[in-house]
Chains A and B, each alone.
Chain A
């Protein structure tokens, strides 16, 4: 039996690069929209991204705060807010990892990959939606912070810069999480794994307590890790009486490094995901 031998497929000119680029944007927005609808319809997700950070603010402000000595002006609430915003931005990545692992497990990603949509859109749409979600959470924390005595004391532009830095930081952590979510591909393992690296990274930092209160061997780690750089920079931007340049530079360098390593890894894991 003679097989049908088509060397190059039927004559079909695919869509032009311009149209493909437009599709990539519109597909990303469609996926973003889908993810945001899911987010606001699931009470658990709302709890973790809205209620839990509020509880953290109140707990650290009123329960632990009194026991934590800080040297900055305005006391612990001023110290706390940038830290908690940074921690919340980092923890938003749990949502990224879990959602991607779920979609992989359920076959959603397979289905989307069998469609003529932009292949980048699933990952991009996830990250855009998670960034939006993160930004909303940060604004809520700022509002709660204002209610319990926090004030930006360095002007509007640095305040906005602080929020931008927190968001970019969160996005970088989300890239790591996207990679782990797709590479591990199992919801519960992903969650457990997230705890293992994310808890030490955020709590062994300057987020909640001054590093000088930690034992020496821990200080060595806490002083030299990206979460501390970012939160110190955020604190400097928010409060104004702390030098900002060095920490901001270290933050930018370490975030750039995270993106450079984990964005390609996440893309590769997505392409391989099955």
Chain B
């Protein structure tokens, strides 16, 4: 059936095509438009970081690419197999590790992996051998014969990841692999992921953490309200924010506007005021320490008392603020699905005062 490849493209080009390709993916759940047409292309052996707040559409995208959900529109091709036409072939090519450890806690680590091996139709001896191999690779040998419920969060996540690798997938989907992990386990997980990349696995990784994408991803897409609102390397994204961020809390709410006025001349953009927490933040570019000193002076001169005045590196929230004008945590609804905001235009860097009452 090679003859039916469209456009007279040579086969080699098909094979050398991206490991993950998505074009115009759209999906709605009733009224909620979870994805509104996203395009992705992940070259073989690279890591794509998908950033976005809860409910942005990250998980929906992963679920479509892993054949768990059919798109309403658009198409997705994994390792040359269309998720709609040949889901079985896609499933043979992929591994999925989700945000909740999909392991059976009453089973030992070894049993979990052996059973997954059997479900990949390995013989019992092969399933056992593969389980042993993965337990060694993921540093779980000592705990191998204990029930997984006795594992720490980090160990459970490693076991979960090991289970997703039983079938030696060419493409691995990691849906928020470190959410809820303590910092040490997180670093451990990063090491594991790096070693997979070194072995040539293509990875699509969703995360809420900019530093995680920064550490692991060759390229990043930022998703919000079901649209890709930015793509590029971590550096490119950060340069959109413009360096350090100065932030502080004004405990006396009546004075917040005075504080905003006082620091306005220091910022590279407009200060952002979170009216719920009284947190004021402003991008100050590369001259952060000068701005810090200036801020102390002007706030003092204005007679505004502040808490926790500090400089910090830009976070995902700042990327969001810069890209969308709202912060990453805002209006993310519990359960990961949010009401569709039809107007969400991918505008850049427009400052917002107040949280929700934005006239757009």
Contacts and interface: CB of A to CB of B under 8 A. Distances in A.
Given A33-B115, A34-B115, A37-B111, A4 B120 contact: no
A9 B100 contact: no
A107 B23 CA distance: 26
B231 to A, nearest CB: 13
A34 B96 CA distance: 20
Interface stretch (B81-89, B128-136, B299-307, B317-325): B81-89
B356 to A, nearest CB: 29
Interface in B91-119: 91-92, 94, 96, 98-102, 104, 106-107, 111, 115-116, 118-119
B28 interface: no
A3 B21 contact: yes
Interface stretch (A22-30, A53-61, A262-270): A22-30
A34 B104 contact: yes
Contact of A27 (B14, B88, B119): B119
Nearest to B7: A5
B63 A42 contact: no
Nearest to A7: B4
Contacts of A41: 106, 147
Interface string A1-23: 01111111111101000000001
Given A5-B9, A9-B82, A114 B100 contact: no
B89 A30 contact: no
Contacts of A31: 119
A114 B1 contact: no
A116 interface: yes
B329 to A, nearest CB: 23
B119 A4 contact: no
Interface stretch (B66-74, B237-245, B338-346): B66-74
A112 interface: yes
A131 to B, nearest CB: 20
A7 B5 contact: yes
B77 interface: yes
Given A4-B77, A5-B7, A41-B147, A14 B89 contact: yes
A6 B10 CA distance: 11
Contact of A6 (B14, B63, B99, B106): B14
A5 B3 CA distance: 12
Nearest to B166: A115
B302 to A, nearest CB: 51
Nearest to A14: B88
A37 B111 CA distance: 10
B91 A116 contact: yes
Contacts of B80: 6, 9-10
B14 A4 contact: yes
Max chain B Cβ within 10 angstroms of own Cβ: one of A8, A10, A114, A117: A114
B129 to A, nearest CB: 17
Contacts of B15: 10
B358 interface: no
B119 A37 contact: no
Nearest to A11: B1
Contact of B2 (A3, A11, A37, A115): A11
Interface string B124-157: 0000000000000000000000010000000000
Interface of B: 1-2, 4-7, 9, 13-15, 17-18, 21, 23, 63, 66-69, 77, 80-82, 85-86, 88-89, 91-92, 94, 96, 98-102, 104, 106-107, 111, 115-116, 118-121, 147, 163-164, 167
Given A6-B82, A107-B98, 15 more contacts: A4-B13, A4-B17, A4-B18, A10-B14, A12-B86, A30-B119, A33-B115, A34-B104, A37-B111, A106-B101, A108-B102, A111-B164, A115-B119, A115-B167, A116-B88
Interface of A: 2-12, 14, 23, 26-27, 30-31, 33-34, 37-38, 41-42, 106-108, 110-117, 121, 274
The 7 residue pairs across chains A and B that have the minimum distance between CB atoms: A111-B102, A4-B17, A5-B6, A7-B4, A117-B119, A116-B91, A114-B96
